[in-house]
Structure 1
Amino acid sequence: MRVPLLRGSGVDAHEVTLAAWREALAMDNSERKAGDKKPAAAANAGVLTRGQVLLQVRALPWAELASTLAELEDWAASAKRLHDVLERQLAKDAPPLHRLRGLLDEARRVVQGWMSERPERPAPVPPPQAPIAEAAKDMPVPLAPVAPPGQAATIASRSEAYARLRELADYLAQLEPHSPVPALLRRAVDWGAMPFDQLLRELTHNNNEMHKVLLRDPIE
């Protein structure tokens, strides 16, 4: 919640985090209920207001908001893939990622809402004129196909999955420094590097419990 979703330029610009936006909305709702009794309460308290954020949003290039939204969508997709991998590999011992995924989804909806506040949309690219289209026919065809967008984000190996897990742990440590989830994620990475016998000793409390793990029926 402390990772900036919005960075502006100029002396009046602020870094807007998800927590700051929540606080601005809460203050706005409070002032609406109070009517005109305390119109400057947020300013006097030094709290960033909803109006200030929206003014900053309208001053930003559209491409910057679109880039932020694309980054959040990529993180949300990566978190879902990581959740699926952990569920398959660790089952009930998988660290919980529901709160992280919820925060990413909330941040994505916030940025989408900001984009809807913009009165203008980027102008569509005009189609090429006939001479340009004819010239394009004579251009050489590239030998290697271009990778489709998002293909590079696919987890291709076990080592890459654990590297993504550590990267996500570092990100979540910045987003929620008091959350236990980053430590659990890093612990899962450490487990992945352990030999089987060492991992059993790590996950079991006594020999009887280890015996149950070794003799239990395989998961279908």
Structure 2
Amino acid sequence: MATIKNNLRNLVDKARLLISDDRPPRFATPTAPMNAPSLPIPLSLMNLEHQQELALLLAPLSGPQPCGPALRYDPIFTEIRLAREEDDPSLPMGQWERPLKKADWPLIENRCKAMLSSRSKDLQIAVWLLEAWTMQYGIDGLYRGLSLVDQLLRQFWEPLHPAIQDGDADARIAPLEWLNASFSMTMRVQMPILKINGRKPPAQSLFDWERMTARELAGQPGEPHADGEAPLTRIEVIAYARQRLGRELSTRLQVVQRCLNCLETMLAFVDLQLGGQAPNLSKLKGTLVAVERVLQQLVPEEREEEMTTPEEPQGGEEVIGLAAGLAPPAAALSGWKNRDEAYAALGAIADYLSLVEPHSPTPYLLRRAVNWGRMPLPELMAEIIREEGDLNRLVNMLGLRE
């Protein structure tokens, strides 16, 4: 025990020297931009047609009002609301069974684009368009939608609808709060991260990944699907992704990182404008970060340049059994390939437990462990050592006993 304390004391002394050193630090402390523009949209991530479409939607309307009149009570709002309604297939209908109602996303997209480009620039319409794009085009659609909302806010803050009246921004931020409270869950459950040919359904969402990871770490076998097909394992998904979807998922990872950039610049701008009234979008950001973690596991950084375009099976054959058709990489068979993957898995587990056990402190403790694992030594020591010579607290926190 004395040896452990001596080693910890040496670490603390070195950390204090680094913290108190007057010389410039060797690493820069990142700061959030207050009004930074979004990064330029690369042609490889958003095609020219979509860029031109964004430019059309962001062009000022003709007339004295660049955003046009407020049309919140126009019939088109009611039409869009009704078109968004759909039934939850997981809920029993009993004796009232009928065909499930599905949202008409193409109709919603067309109505929203017509409104923004020719009649009225309303944040609620822009958010509905973001939703329609995401439901139809996945992560690529989300990127287009976040780019639209980000630039709409920054270019038309004053005249944008709904207006800020007498300093009350509740109506203005309501669509953003909906993105955080409701749409973030839709993204987690319905937005595909990858698609696996031969599976029913082929799309794998963030929720599917979190449920699979938590189930395997708990040692619980997955229940077979209705057609008797065995559930996928984490190793099988990683093997499929790395061998068949390398370049596609590498590009998707870049798109997710652009989504995070759009969200950061939007938050910085809104914070600057509203101060304490600014909305909290931590759930939306947390969902995007969780998607980024999963893609980083499926496409390791050191292999991104080696990825090749996936080839379809010859003769129109579908990939029905992953275990039979693909040999998982040796590294995947032995567990996580590196510490980043292990920490990413912990983050995914924390996100999953937050959904199924929101009352439990476990997700918060897991996230703290992940944050500690990514801290430089000076920052870690500064957080843990609160008082001079407080080594007993550190020993207890690390679970070391005499």
Q: Normalising by structure 1, what TM-score?
A: 0.46
Q: Normalising by structure 2, what TM-score?
A: 0.26
